[in-house]
Amino acid sequence: PLHQLNDPTLLKTAGYIDGAWVEGTDTFAVTDPATGLELAQVANLTAAHTQQAIDAAEAALPAWRGLTHKQRSHLLRKWFELILAHRDDLARLMTAEQGKPLAEATGEVVYGASFVEWYAEEAKRTYGETVPSFAPDRRAMVLRQPIGVCAAITPWNFPVAMITRKVAPAIAAGCTVVVKPAEFTPLCALALAELAHRAGIPQGVINVVPTEHAAAVGKVLCDSPVVRHLSFTGSTEVGRILMAQCAPTIKKLALELGGNAPFIVFDDADLDSAVEGAMTSKYRNAGQTCVCANRLYVQAGVYDAFVAKLAERVRGLKVGNGFEPGVTQGPLIEPAALDKVQEHIADAVAKGGHIVTGGKPLQGQFFEPTVIANATRDMRVAREETFGPLAPVFRFTTEQEAIDAANATEFGLASYFYSRDIGRIVRVSEALDYGMVGVNIGLLGSEQVPFGGVKQSGLGREGSHHGMDEYLEMKYVNLGDV
Ligand code: ADP
């Protein structure tokens, strides 16, 4: 699929350090999850390259943070425009290496670009404060300054947006960055670096280190006293490792980790709208997002009707290669992902779950979109994130029962519920122990709002004006002898 790029020079296979393309001595294969075919051999950079990238970011920092906010804003704006101008090629690279349907990939590119646009604008608004003074001859003010060199470790499920969401606010604030993209999806990351280069973002400001040595490269980023901030999106398990590794240097951390999103449908919901929301929330990206509905709780009065309508819609999904027109569900990222879905289904069936539709792997890395009814709390699907196209539907009776079940997890990222009762909407929104609540909607993301979780789903928020705070330190200046 990659020879169809409008601009073949966007296919980069070397790392990007200090404004130059670095080959390294070794490569790793990037494969198309839909076909299993190799797409490219990409530079497999090392711990030593990572140190070079940190050095480059450190060297670039004084000049970059010394620009005016408006100058940085203009460069971000240019990057944004280039990303949009090349949206079709970026989407092709994404469908090829990640598998999501082309229309969905295009949507992600636009979504990813929106963070660059937003932080081009926010760059100009990193206001400080003047504080009413506590003594007549003193003045107090608060400056907000870039934290310094930042690191970003990103996942494969959103190969563009997870990078722009971190890099755009960091560089807008005046920081410089080293990015380690996921090994499944380095091509989008490198194409973004190429576009940043074309936009005129100076050398060393953004560095991208593709590698299969995730742990070794991660260790260098965590251990470095020069790196002052680490932003990570990925599993809670790896998040814990990184947090521990960042303790010795007291690094500031932003963590977007696993979720286990509840999706609650009350008797008073608009059922068709709830089914629509469940489809988007559950089956988007083949269920491979940290905000995908993982557990569907449906009140007894509408349970059977909801399950029937959902299953009917799910039977209408078209599974296949994301480049084929009309395909709505692509492959899963790797064979292990299919194993996990299958294990969850087998466990659910053994404990009384009923497969309403789907349930089986297809050829290659494809899996039937699946609905399981009669889900119960002793099943693995009640506790673990499936990260695949499986919707277990639990039955509940009272509002409190639904809230308790929804909150019975160590995770707290996204949650959803459908109701038309205004009192209930307020009560349940307040009671859900989550960083994000979608009410009568199955899709929450936007560059304008703070995305993030509570409990073991992470630390910090990305997007919105709050997203900039991650990359700014406050400095209190007290002026005496006035
Ligand atoms: P996922 O389940 O989404 O693949 P991971 O947490 O395994 O989540 O991966 C997210 C990112 O973290 C990827 O870029 C991966 O290479 C990286 N990663 C995995 N293990 C480590 C590690 N020990 N140190 C640093 N980065 C890691």
Q: Which helix (H) or strand (E) holds 401?
A: helix 399-407
| CA-based nearest residue to 467, from 152, 94, 241 | 152
The span from the CA of 194 to the CA of 183, in Å, is 18
Catalytic residue among 256, 368, 385, 447: 256
Mean pLDDT for the stretch of residues 48-52: 98
User: What b/e string do you get for 24-62 counting C-beta neighbours within 10 Å, with b at 16 or more?
Assistant: beebbebbbbbbeeebbebbbbbbebbbbbbbbbbebbe
Q: In sequence order, which residues have a C-beta less than 8 Å from that of residue 294 and are 6 or more positions away? A: 259, 260, 261, 262, 381, 385, 386
- Would the CB of 214 count as within 6 Å of ligand 1? yes
Pairing of strands 139-146, 472-479: antiparallel
The span from the CA of 171 to the CA of 231, in Å, is 13
The span from the CA of 304 to the CA of 398, in Å, is 17
| Token code pair at residue 463 | 């997007």
Minimum-distance ligand 1 atom for the alpha carbon of 387: 2
Query: How many CB atoms sit inside 10 A of residue 478's CB?
Result: 12
Inform me whether the pLDDT recorded for 473 exceeds 80: yes
User: pTM surpassing 0.95?
Assistant: yes
Please report how the helices 186-199 and 87-98 are oriented relative to each other, as an axis angle in degrees rounded to 10: 160
- DSSP letter at 320? S
- Would the CB of 277 count as within 6 Å of ligand 1? no
The span from the CA of 69 to the CA of 254, in Å, is 23
**How would residue 64 be classed by pLDDT, with cut points 50, 70 and 90?**
very high
Q: What percent of the chain has pLDDT over 90?
A: 99
Minimum-distance ligand 1 atom for the alpha carbon of 183: 16
Span from the CA of 214 to the centroid of ligand 1 (angstroms): 7
Residue 256 appears among annotated catalytic residues = yes
Inform me whether the pLDDT recorded for 1 exceeds 80: no
Q: Residue written as tokens 């980790």?
A: 257
The span from the CA of 304 to the CA of 365, in Å, is 31
Burial (CB count <10 Å: 0-12, 13-18, 19+), residue 387? buried
Write down the ipTM of this complex: 0.98
pLDDT per residue over 170-205, tens digit each?
A: 999 999 999 999 999 999 999 999 999 999 999 999
Q: What percent of the chain has pLDDT over 70?
A: 100
Minimum-distance ligand 1 atom for the alpha carbon of 153: 14
**Residue from 42, 156, 187, 238 whose mutation best tests the ligand 1 pocket (most atoms within 8 A of CB):** 238
Do 69 and 76 meet the contact criterion of CB atoms below 8 Å apart? Answer: no
CA end-to-end span of the chain, whole Å? 68
Per-residue model confidence (pLDDT) at position 2: 84
Per-residue model confidence (pLDDT) at position 401: 98
Span from the CA of 210 to the centroid of ligand 1 (angstroms): 12
Inform me whether the pLDDT recorded for 409 exceeds 80: yes
Inform me whether the pLDDT recorded for 3 exceeds 90: no
Strand partners, 224: none
Span from the CA of 353 to the centroid of ligand 1 (angstroms): 32
